[in-house]
Structure 1
Amino acid sequence: MVRFDSNILLKQEHNQKNQSDFNALFTIQYLHEAEAKVILVSDWKTNTSELHLEQVADFLSGIFQIQVVPLQGISCNKLSKVKDLQKENIYLIESLYNIKDEVANCLEFSRVLSTGVDIFVNDSFSSSHKVLASTVGVTRFCYACLAGFHFEVKLRLVKNLAETNKKPYVAIIGGGNLAEKAASFRFLASRCHGFVFVGMMSFQIMHASRVQVPIDFVDHKALPEALDIVRLARDNNVKILYPKDFWCRNKYNRKQLHVFPSHEILDGWVPIDLGPITLDEIGSLLSDCKKITWIGPVKFADGSEETNGGSKLAKILDQLSKGNCETTVVGTTACNLVTQETSSLSSINMVENASAVWEFLKGRKLPGVMAVDRAYPFEIKWNNVYSDPTQSLVVDIGSGNGLFLFEMARKRKDLNFLGLEMNEKVHTRS
């Protein structure tokens, strides 16, 4: 069973340059070519006629060039028999979007969902921060629970946000709801050298920094968290950059636009986008960076095509990523802008779902990751294991107490040896 990300596989247009699309497709194609009986499950919305089970099965058949057969019954906790499924086909279970037992991680529903399944493959990283029957519950009934290629790549990118091997490291932070995300800044402040605020959250930071801003954009309930972030940045020598000017729209004449300094916005004008001075300052700060993470949209009241700061920021990152700057973009809006504005997607890392990343930055363990942890391929630093990791590797599957392997290693210094043994008692005793 493969839990796939419907937001990726059900796109109307699949750009082969998009590595996320490729990895999501490759997981399923790989399993099918390995002659596994493959059952797909996801939670696409069913409020439009184009997304009924049969239409989705036909759509996926066209993508995979393999017949995808719909399976009915899961909404009634009675799935069609799966023992007689043919390997030549791929099978699709109806959408879990409106099923309460899915969100409740119901044990009985999980058992029915995993009927006949030996191996569970989670390839929906966008759901990894949720506890669902299709991502967590089913793992109790499967022999092995693994990460798909798409899931594995996204998890690696998210973990890489914690690495500080490249400096200076700057986080560009957009969006709003500062109070909900405040816990993430302690994590970021311990790793980054600068914060660049580009969304609604910037008004809270400016207010905490005693910069006069329109009172309508200040969330007074978030003031304690904003003050803590400013204090935390100061204590960790993290530079804070907030907008110095804004494009604003006249409340009474929507066609009228004007640029105001952030501390001199006149009554009757509403900030809608980053101003030119701010974008120049951001470009200057980022020019020397070796690592940049952009999370959250550049979004204020209502944007304008004439003042599209998000697109301009995407172009800045595109140029930097072509050099020696590791760039990661998080969130659907930011990823879409980068896709539209960049010449080569291969130079920028993208994680479409921001919610899972914010949960990771808060220091929380992602349930979807923990559910496959026992079978997940842990990262091993081979340079610490072998004196010369470039030598040919000999793998002994079922190495027992390892006596044979040790004797071989003594005789052949020109080879590296790896023993695999699933019997924990033998492993502990040896």
Structure 2
Amino acid sequence: MLRNSHLKPKAYVHDAGELDAFPHIQTLKGFPKEELFAKVVMVRFDSAILLQKELDLKSQVTSAVSTIKYLFEAGAKIILLSDWSMKINSKLLVVESVADFLSSVLQLKVAPSRCISNRSLSKMEELEKADILLLENLSEFKGELANCSKFAEQLASVVYIFVNDSFSNSHKILASTVGVPRFCSACVAGFHFEESLCQLKMAAQINKKPCIAIIGGGNLFDKASAVRYLASRCDGLVFVGMMAFQIMHALGLHVPLNLLEGGALKEASNIVQLAQNRKIPILYPKDFWCTTNDFPKQMEIFPAYGILDGWIPVDPGPKALDEINSLLADCKKIIWIGPVKFRLASQNIYGASKLVSMLDRLTQSNCEITVIGNMACKGVMKESSFVSVYNMVENASVVWEFLKGRKLPGLMALDRAYPVEIDWNAAYTHPSQPLVVDIGSGNGLFLLAMAKRREDLNFLGLEINEKVCLLPFSVFFLLCMS
């Protein structure tokens, strides 16, 4: 347990201040390779990456494959674990077909196992016959989504080291990402997880000015705290999706009722007020390309305040794109999160491709550009001539949750590994102050009282009895944050 009167707070929801939700985690790269030999290692992999119909050589595929191969070369006994569906690959339904597919991807023999549902054969017995074992589809078990403790314990039986390489699930509370680590001696991040975490850190870091956030998609009510964070840090906001209409409504502009989101007006008004207080621009499309349900191929341009009944916006208009281009001209950092998309998709929309063209030009003037979200990333990969210079994070859900100031459960579960490494400069505001160590600190309340009296000292509590400190430690940690 750590205590310092100036200990940096790590609140669950930020108030438009600095995000500080990155714990010090152990990584496979930093874990002693010799400690892996003959150990049973469970890898929670991302099926959306390794089970794609057409695997390419993108870095995330390479890093995900490297995690498993590295463990195999280190002499570990590997248990692979994931969920999959027909959306990922319609040919991969049963565990046997997935094992065959992974064998071809990894160039290693992967043996299927049904030991979750059929307990007649233990994982240890099966590992004697194969170095890599694939367990059944997690989506078939209710205990996965419920983070059932008994189910997690069953998954983790015989497992010594847990490796999480499914960053796209880090914002969810699952048995395979949050429950299993409780029963393992070491819990570390795989190569893909670590790479994705670095990309997230780059996305959240506003280290260059001016910085503009381009915000697409909808559902402002749910994402309001994340948008407020961007409004509190960036030098301008550009809305290119359904959220634009909620902002227009908050600004007092006429918006067709069918384009408004229930309950979002108050949140949109708060965002507008914050931007006005900081004197930063909020840009929304001044015109739109629109179509109708009856004649989807017929396109007309309407001003934002004059969209006729029956017409539906599908793309920013030419004036809107010119305004965006002008605002971005002198930027040194751009965060693009969410798709340039409104209610109807159409093959005739060009907003995303024109936006990529703008960003391509900015990359030539050393502008740092982060693109977040599957659709936005696909647009860049399809249209850009300079893909390699973009920082791309395909899973927008994780980033939205992080920007809200919420700690990512899958990330927090990795903050317990052996050998333990602690960044004392991050733990204490003044690490050079004298350190007081309380061995056998119990629930930490005595140590907390001492720390409140002596702000000139740093305090460290050590307690071996997990039953004594587990729940009280949570209370103690919250007290430290207050």
Structure 1 residues 42 and 310, CA, compared in 2 at 3 Å: closer, same or farther?
same
2:159 counterpart (96, 100, 117): 117
Equivalent residue, structure 2, for 1:307: 349
Equivalent residue, structure 1, for 2:212: 170
Residue type of the partner of 2:72?
A: H
Contact 1:200 / 1:217 at 8 angstroms: preserved in 2? yes
Contact 1:175 / 1:297 at 8 angstroms: preserved in 2? yes
Q: Secondary structure at the match of 1:305?
A: coil
Equivalent residue, structure 2, for 1:420: none
2:313 counterpart (261, 266, 271): 271
Equivalent residue, structure 2, for 1:3: 44
Residue type of the partner of 1:41?
A: L
Distance 2:164 2:119 in 1: 21
Structure 1: gaps of 5 or more residues: 383-423, 426-430
Q: Secondary structure at the match of 1:212?
A: coil
Residue type of the partner of 2:80?
A: L
2:141 counterpart (92, 99, 102): 99
Q: Which runs of 4+ in 1 moved over 6 A?
A: 376-382
Equivalent residue, structure 2, for 1:64: 106
CA drift of 1:333 comes to 1.4
TM-score (norm: length of structure 1): 0.84
| 1:21-100 pair list within 5 angstroms | 21-45=61-85, 48-75=90-117, 80-83=122-125, 85=127, 89-100=131-142
Residue type of the partner of 2:64?
A: A
CA drift of 1:269 comes to 1.6
Structure 1 residues 83 and 328, CA, compared in 2 at 3 Å: closer, same or farther?
farther
Distance 1:236 1:338 in 2: 31
CA drift of 1:88 comes to 6.7
Residues 379-417 of structure 1 deviation map (CA, whole Å, 9 limit, x = unaligned): 7889xxxxxxxxxxxxxxxxxxxxxxxxxxxxxxxxxxx
| 1:352-367 pair list within 5 angstroms | 352-367=394-409
Structure 1 residues 159 and 367, CA, compared in 2 at 3 Å: closer, same or farther?
same
Residue type of the partner of 2:55?
A: H
Greater Cα offset, 112-121 or 20-29: 20-29
| 1:327-346 pair list within 5 angstroms | 327-346=369-388
2:54 counterpart (1, 13, 17): 13
Equivalent residue, structure 2, for 1:286: 328
Structure 1 residues 374 and 321, CA, compared in 2 at 3 Å: closer, same or farther?
farther
Q: Secondary structure at the match of 1:182?
A: helix
CA drift of 1:76 comes to 5.2
Residue type of the partner of 1:134?
A: S
Structure 2: gaps of 5 or more residues: 1-41, 427-461, 464-482
Residues 84-132 of structure 1 deviation map (CA, whole Å, 9 limit, x = unaligned): 5259742211110131101111111111101211110111111111111
Q: Secondary structure at the match of 2:305?
A: coil
Equivalent residue, structure 2, for 1:229: 271
| 1:103-182 pair list within 5 angstroms | 103-182=145-224
Structure 1 residues 277 and 166, CA, compared in 2 at 3 Å: closer, same or farther?
same
Residue type of the partner of 2:267?
A: E
Distance 2:161 2:266 in 1: 47
Residues 203-242 of structure 1 deviation map (CA, whole Å, 9 limit, x = unaligned): 0001111222222101242111111110011112232111
Structure 1 residues 132 and 220, CA, compared in 2 at 3 Å: closer, same or farther?
closer
- When the two chains are superposed, the root-mean-square deviation of aligned CA atoms in Å is 2.3
2:339 aligned with 1:297: yes
Structure 1 residues 46 and 274, CA, compared in 2 at 3 Å: closer, same or farther?
closer
Residues 109-157 of structure 1 deviation map (CA, whole Å, 9 limit, x = unaligned): 1111012111101111111111111001111111100011111121222
Residues 172-222 of structure 1 deviation map (CA, whole Å, 9 limit, x = unaligned): 111111111111123212211111101111100011112222221012421
Greater Cα offset, 246-255 or 76-85: 76-85
Distance 1:249 1:182 in 2: 29
Q: Secondary structure at the match of 2:147?
A: coil
Number of residue pairs aligned between Structure 1 and Structure 2? 384
Structure 1 residues 237 and 162, CA, compared in 2 at 3 Å: closer, same or farther?
farther
Greater Cα offset, 7-16 or 139-148: 7-16
Contact 1:163 / 1:191 at 8 angstroms: preserved in 2? no
Contact 2:151 / 2:175 at 8 angstroms: preserved in 1? yes
Structure 1 residues 318 and 29, CA, compared in 2 at 3 Å: closer, same or farther?
farther
Contact 2:338 / 2:375 at 8 angstroms: preserved in 1? yes
Distance 1:266 1:277 in 2: 18
Contact 1:72 / 1:80 at 8 angstroms: preserved in 2? no
Identity of aligned residues (%): 56
Equivalent residue, structure 1, for 2:444: none
Residue type of the partner of 2:83?
A: D
TM-score (norm: length of structure 2): 0.75
Equivalent residue, structure 1, for 2:16: none
Q: Secondary structure at the match of 1:97?
A: helix
CA drift of 1:253 comes to 2.4
Structure 1 residues 291 and 108, CA, compared in 2 at 3 Å: closer, same or farther?
same
Relative CO higher for 1 or 2, CA cutoff 8 Å, sep ≥ 6?
2
Distance 1:79 1:129 in 2: 33
Distance 2:198 2:115 in 1: 36
Contact 1:35 / 1:87 at 8 angstroms: preserved in 2? no
Greater Cα offset, 3-12 or 314-323: 314-323
Equivalent residue, structure 2, for 1:390: none
Q: Secondary structure at the match of 1:263?
A: helix
Distance 2:230 2:316 in 1: 23
Contact 1:246 / 1:260 at 8 angstroms: preserved in 2? yes
Residue type of the partner of 1:35?
A: G
Q: Secondary structure at the match of 1:91?
A: strand
1:214 counterpart (256, 262, 279): 256
CA drift of 1:378 comes to 6.5
Structure 1 residues 79 and 154, CA, compared in 2 at 3 Å: closer, same or farther?
farther
Q: Secondary structure at the match of 2:416?
A: helix
1:262 counterpart (301, 304, 312): 304
Structure 1 residues 90 and 300, CA, compared in 2 at 3 Å: closer, same or farther?
same
Q: Secondary structure at the match of 2:348?
A: helix
Q: Secondary structure at the match of 2:76?
A: coil
Equivalent residue, structure 1, for 2:475: none
CA drift of 1:27 comes to 1.2
